[in-house]
Amino acid sequence: MPLSRRVRSISPSSTLAITAMAKRMQAEGIDVISFAGGEPEFDTPEHVKAAGIRAVRDGFTKYTAPAGIEELRDAVVAKLKRDNGLEYTQDEVVTCSGSKQALYNLAMVFFDKRDEVIIPAPYWVSYPEQVRLADATPVFAPTREEEGFRLKRGDLERVLTRRTKAVILNSPCNPTGAVIELDELKAIAELAVEKDFYLVSDEAYEALTYDGVKHVSIASLGEEVKARTFVVGSTSKTYAMTGWRLGYAAGPKEIIKAMIDLQSHSTSAPASPSQKAAVAALLGPRETVESMRREFEKRRRYLLERLHGIPGVRCVPPEGAFYAFPNVSAFYGKKVARGRKISSSTDLTAYLIQEARVTVVPGADFGSDKHVRISYCLGMEQIRDGLERMAKALEQLK
Ligand code: PMP
Ligand code: GLU
pLDDT in tens, 64-80: 999 999 999 999 999 99
Q: Which of 291, 289, 279, 233 is nearest to 48 (CA)?
A: 279
Task: State the first-to-last Cα distance of the chain, in angstroms, to the nearest integer.
Answer: 46
pTM of the model: 0.97
Q: Which of 133, 100, 118, 154 is nearest to 9 (CA)?
A: 133
Query: From the CB of 278, is ligand 1 less than 6 Å away?
Result: no
Query: From the CB of 176, is ligand 1 less than 6 Å away?
Result: no
Beta strands per DSSP E along 280-324: 323-324
Question: How far does Cα 394 stand from its chain's mean position?
Answer: 28
pLDDT category, 388, cuts 50, 70, 90? Answer: very high
Which atom of ligand 2 is nearest to 126's Cα? 9
Q: What mean pLDDT, rounded, does the chain reach? A: 96
Give the mean pLDDT of 358-370.
96
Three-state SS at 361: strand
From atom 1 of ligand 2, which residue's Cα is the shortest distance away? Answer: 38
Q: In Å, what is the CA distance from 120 to each residue of 110, 138, 144, 229, 358?
A: 19, 10, 10, 16, 28
Q: CA torsion, points 366, 371, 377, 380, in degrees to nearest 10? A: 180
For the residues of 185-217, what is the DSSP string, one character each? HHHHHHHHHHHT-EEEEE-TTTT-B-TT-----
Query: From the CB of 175, is ligand 1 less than 6 Å away?
Result: no
What is the CATH number assigned to the segment(s) 5-43+288-395?
A: 3.90.1150.10
Question: Class of the 46-283 domain?
Answer: alpha beta
Ligand 1: centre distance to CA 269 (Å): 18
From atom 3 of ligand 2, which residue's Cα is the shortest distance away? Answer: 38
Query: From the CB of 38, is ligand 1 less than 6 Å away?
Result: yes
Which atom of ligand 2 is nearest to 361's Cα? 10
pLDDT category, 11, cuts 50, 70, 90? Answer: confident
Ligand closest in space to the Cα of 15: 2
pLDDT in tens, 217-247: 999 999 999 999 999 999 999 999 999 999 9
pLDDT in tens, 263-288: 999 999 999 999 999 999 999 999 99
Q: Is the peptide bond before 175 cis (omega within 30 degrees of 0)?
A: yes
pLDDT category, 39, cuts 50, 70, 90? Answer: very high
- If one residue of 34, 101, 125, 378 were mutated to test the ligand 2 pocket, choosing by the most ligand atoms within 8 A of its CB, it would be 125
Q: Is the peptide bond before 270 cis (omega within 30 degrees of 0)?
A: no
From atom 5 of ligand 2, which residue's Cα is the shortest distance away? Answer: 38
Give the mean pLDDT of 98-120.
98
Question: How far does Cα 255 stand from its chain's mean position?
Answer: 22
pLDDT at 190: 98
pLDDT in tens, 292-338: 999 999 999 999 999 999 999 999 999 999 999 999 999 999 998 77
Ligand 2: centre distance to CA 16 (Å): 6
Give me the residue spans of the domains in the chain.
5-43+288-395, 46-283
pLDDT category, 259, cuts 50, 70, 90? Answer: very high
Query: From the CB of 204, is ligand 1 less than 6 Å away?
Result: yes
Residue 295 burial by Cβ neighbours in a 10 Å radius (0-12, 13-18, 19+) = middle
Query: From the CB of 320, is ligand 1 less than 6 Å away?
Result: no
Query: From the CB of 170, is ligand 1 less than 6 Å away?
Result: yes
Query: From the CB of 327, is ligand 1 less than 6 Å away?
Result: no
Query: From the CB of 44, is ligand 1 less than 6 Å away?
Result: no
Query: Is it the case that residue 20 has pLDDT exceeding 90?
Result: no
